[in-house]
Amino acid sequence: MKEGNTNKNKHDLFSEELQQELEKLSWEFLLKEKEEQASAIKKESESEKFNYYQIKEPAGGDETGEYYNPKQDDYKNFAFWQKNDEFNPNNLRRDSGIIFDEAKLKAHRAVEWTKAPKLRESRAKMFLFRIGLWSAKLLFKICFGVTVAIGKTVVGAVIFFYRAVKGSIVFIWQVAVAFKYAFIYIFGGFNLSFRSVEVVEANEVAEELLAEDNKKFYKHNWRFRAAGIFAVAALFLILPLQIYLFYSRAEQTKAVVLGASEFGVQHLLQAGIAGKDLNIQDAGREFVLAGQEFERAKNSFRGLGILANGLASLAPDVRAGTQLLEVAIKSANVGRILAKTSQLMAKFTGNIDYKQIEADSRPEAKSMDKIDWRAVDRDLEQAVADATAIEKIIKEVDLGNARLSAYREQAATVKNQLPMIASLLEDYRDLTKIVVSMLGVDEPKRWLLVFQNNAELRPTGGFLGSYAVVDLKNGEIKKIEVPGGGFYDLKGSLAVMVDAPYPFHLFSPIWQPWNANWFFDWPSSAEKITWFYDKSGGPSVDGVVSFTPDVLEDLLKLTGQIEMPDYKMTIDDNNFRRLTQAEVEINYDKAENKPKKFIGDLLPMVLDKVFSLEGEQRVEALQIIFDSLKSKDLLTYFKDQDIQKIADKLKWTGRVEQYDKDYLAIVHTNIAGGKTDQVIKNTVEHKIEIMNNGEIVDAVTLTREHQGKVGDVFEGQTNTDFVRFYVPQDSKLLATSGFDPMPTDREFQTATSGVEADPDLTRLESNLRVDGESGTRIVDEFGKTSFGNWLSVAPGEIKKVSVKYLLPWRIQGGDEVRTAAAEEHDWWSLVKQYFGFRKKQQTKQQDYIYGLLVQKQPGSNDDQFSSNLTVDGGWLVGEYLPKEEATVSNNSLRVNFDIDGDKYYGAVIKET
């Protein structure tokens, strides 16, 4: 039996029976035997210790011993552990005080190290457990989802029930009203005494009981039977009468509504006429009157009940009236806002004592009249939204069968005028946003005011002489600073040196702050001005406002002469330019070296006079400002992109326009040519020829006549001009004539070490090439191609230069097709050509519209311009605009105008 158990233990060492046997293994602590054997065990362990470690006595009586380490071979697989049975795993630590059951240990003696198995559940149990857990989760989700769905359904049912009950109550109430009047009419009131009913008794016993019951029934149920009969009768007879009464009231109210609506329409028409004449105050008053009429109609319509409203709305004319009532609400609000803002604008004035402001450091000035500009901005936003809504409602009004059908023509006029009124309100709103930004209503603002002298033309208006820094907060001017040295004061503190644009190398290879306005695109030049100002240690600014002497001359015509006792002179519009140039260029204090101080002293006085204007003169001053913005003598730039977009839409930023037709801008840059551009007369002749193959060739001839007096200190100098012709990008230069070589009186200077390439110049000007024959510099910039070259004109001299170029498209089947000249730099076009892709030609003949945009250079005179469009035999000139500036003869179109702003003209070209 013992032998069988042994075999079983060998084969089922980790069987369930063995685990249970091991768990029942008992440990006995025999303290008594431990005490008896303690001494023996101690001696035995000491003997074993000295047998295992052999201690050698050191030479010289050294107390420190050397321990003998067993041979290396003894360590292999811990074989030395098994040399003595004491080191067998089953016999270790027997002296620890725990006495094993030797019989059981011997029966289950381990012959090798074995890790005990981990006790865990069977796979079947784990699978069932997981299946149950998944089922529980699924059941929970289903229950939760069902509960949510039931809850939503119950809530929806409650809401539906509530609405149904509410609707029923309203309907019952209307019926009850009809019942009330009909009941009073029939019965005379609600306190009625009913007649008694006699019952004849047929049988003294049985019929007495029956009679008693009948008495109770008749007494208690007669009223209910009468009410029931009345309800049926009212339903078929009385209720229609009440509906008729309601409809009669609706007809009477409708007459009031329509009458008031007619008056409202008349006021709307008058508001449109006033808006067309830009008379904001009259437009606002007419809107108010229209709103009052519609409000009266609205109050009348409110007198009808709910059911009556529904029945009356079935009439088409009443529907038109209700739509016009909606117009009433919004038009009245628009009128109120217009009237309110007009009054605020009338009060707007500036009481600033500029005489107390010194030139270089200007202290706090007096504040302007308080206006809640935020409220004005919000009101105008609402007015624009209401005007847009009015326009939409008016379009939906059906006047076919209504009493207002007689006013169908006037209503059509209103529909046509409303977009103009909405546009006017949008401009008014946008202008207010600009004013709010400039006055520092939301946060303090700092503006850089730049004076550009257009007697010495530069791309954005003129030479940069003086500037001022103005701080504003909540509509108050807190500080004005006008450096006496102007932009020259920035040179000493400029912390960078960058390479100058090509023409300025005649002065210096280093780009200086007073030459910062090199780019024809004013926002780009304004950013460059602020860049120089920042690199010179100036504080950050929120934008730049530029103006030329023309603006001040126009304002001086309005304000009259200005006394300047410190300079012992009187300034007016006739001598302003001449005296200013003399003070700035010649008569300034050389020791103080502040040549721009005169402008710094004059500018505050002019502003003081302007803000002191009243009545009609104030309106004229605003008109001068708007005209200056249109003629580009006044330019604005805002770092706030939202405000900048508004200014771009108003055409106040001098931005180079992107136009998909023909384009021309002639830009002059005076290089050491004195203050002579005001005595230069320019004439531009522009010719366009459309060839039989659809190609378009342009030729521009510029004539410059120097009308200055020989020997005059300002006008008598030779005008040296680097002129650029901006044309559609990728135009191909065909020929030039009349240009001069680079001036030889100055040496062209090259940048040395330490001068870096300017990042803006590198980014904005690309694809530079030079025409080998004429020396014309060809550059791509701002979506255009420019042809630049030199032209010098002496006093009394007339010179002509011309450029001829091929536009980058041709007319084909009514379409514009890019020519090879334009595609040579287009890698995608080359790829498409290589793989055989071609644009499908249209078989249907279409008209082609030729258009030309001519942009004016800021600060330039109103140059005379003429354009002559001719077509070859395969084409015809059709309709054209503008009619008043163009004439057609011999299959050609000629247009003449002065370049007093950006100009457009266009014509339809038909294929024969």
CA–CA gap between residue 38 and residue 31 (Å, rounded): 10
What pLDDT is stored for residue 68 in this prediction? Answer: 43
Q: What is the largest CA-CA distance in the chain?
A: 160
H or E stretch covering 733: strand 732-737
Residues 785/778, Cβ–Cβ less than 8 Å: yes
Report residue 617 as tokens.
């003169």
- 144 occurs within a structural domain: no
Q: Do 791 and 766 belong to one domain? A: yes
What pLDDT is stored for residue 824 in this prediction? Answer: 45
Q: Do 389 and 339 belong to one domain? A: yes
- 203 occurs within a structural domain: no
Residues 772/671, Cβ–Cβ less than 8 Å: no
Distance of CA 829 to the CA centre of its chain: 34
Q: Do 407 and 502 belong to one domain? A: no
Q: Do 758 and 850 belong to one domain? A: yes
How many domains does the chain fold into? Answer: 4
Q: Which residue range forms the structural domain that includes residue 311?
A: 258-356+368-436
Peptide bond into 882 cis (omega under 30): yes
HEC-encoded secondary structure of 818-831? ECHHHHCCCHHHHH
- What lies within 8 Å, CB to CB, of 165 at 6+ separation is none
Other residues' Cβ atoms within 10 Å of the Cβ of residue 331? 30
Domain boundary among 649, 674, 705: 649
- 342 occurs within a structural domain: yes
- What lies within 8 Å, CB to CB, of 423 at 6+ separation is none
Task: Give residue 384's identity as a one-letter amino acid code.
Answer: V
Q: Do 730 and 832 belong to one domain? A: yes
Task: Give the CATH number for residue 450.
Answer: 3.40.630
Report residue 722 as tokens.
């680097």
- 2 occurs within a structural domain: no
- 160 occurs within a structural domain: no
Q: Do 489 and 546 belong to one domain? A: yes
What pLDDT is stored for residue 528 in this prediction? Answer: 97
Q: Do 576 and 619 belong to one domain? A: yes
Domain boundary among 436, 454, 489: 436
503: left (phi over 0), alpha (psi -120 to 50) or beta: alpha
Distance of CA 795 to the CA centre of its chain: 51
- 241 occurs within a structural domain: no
The one-character DSSP state at 835 is T
Q: Do 498 and 555 belong to one domain? A: yes
Q: Do 787 and 900 belong to one domain? A: yes
Report residue 730 as tokens.
């990728």
CA–CA gap between residue 89 and residue 480 (Å, rounded): 99
Domain boundary among 649, 676, 710: 649
What pLDDT is stored for residue 365 in this prediction? Answer: 39
Task: Give residue 54's identity as a one-letter amino acid code.
Answer: Q
Other residues' Cβ atoms within 10 Å of the Cβ of residue 787? 22
What pLDDT is stored for residue 273 in this prediction? Answer: 59
- 172 occurs within a structural domain: no
Q: Do 566 and 448 belong to one domain? A: yes
CA–CA gap between residue 357 and residue 601 (Å, rounded): 9
What pLDDT is stored for residue 21 in this prediction? Answer: 54
Kindly tell me the burial class for residue 878, based on how many C-beta atoms sit within 10 Å of its own C-beta (0-12, 13-18, 19 or more).
middle
Q: Do 479 and 583 belong to one domain? A: yes
Q: Do 373 and 302 belong to one domain? A: yes
- 147 occurs within a structural domain: no
For the chain (912 residues), the mean pLDDT of every run of 10, in chain order, is 48 51 48 59 57 46 44 45 47 48 56 47 69 79 83 82 73 64 52 42 44 46 50 50 48 53 59 54 63 64 52 57 68 70 58 39 44 77 83 73 62 73 82 87 91 94 91 83 87 90 92 95 97 93 95 91 89 89 78 76 83 78 90 95 93 94 97 92 97 94 95 89 97 97 84 86 94 95 97 96 96 60 44 40 60 96 94 88 84 92 92 79
What pLDDT is stored for residue 381 in this prediction? Answer: 84
What pLDDT is stored for residue 359 in this prediction? Answer: 41
Report residue 591 as tokens.
């020791």
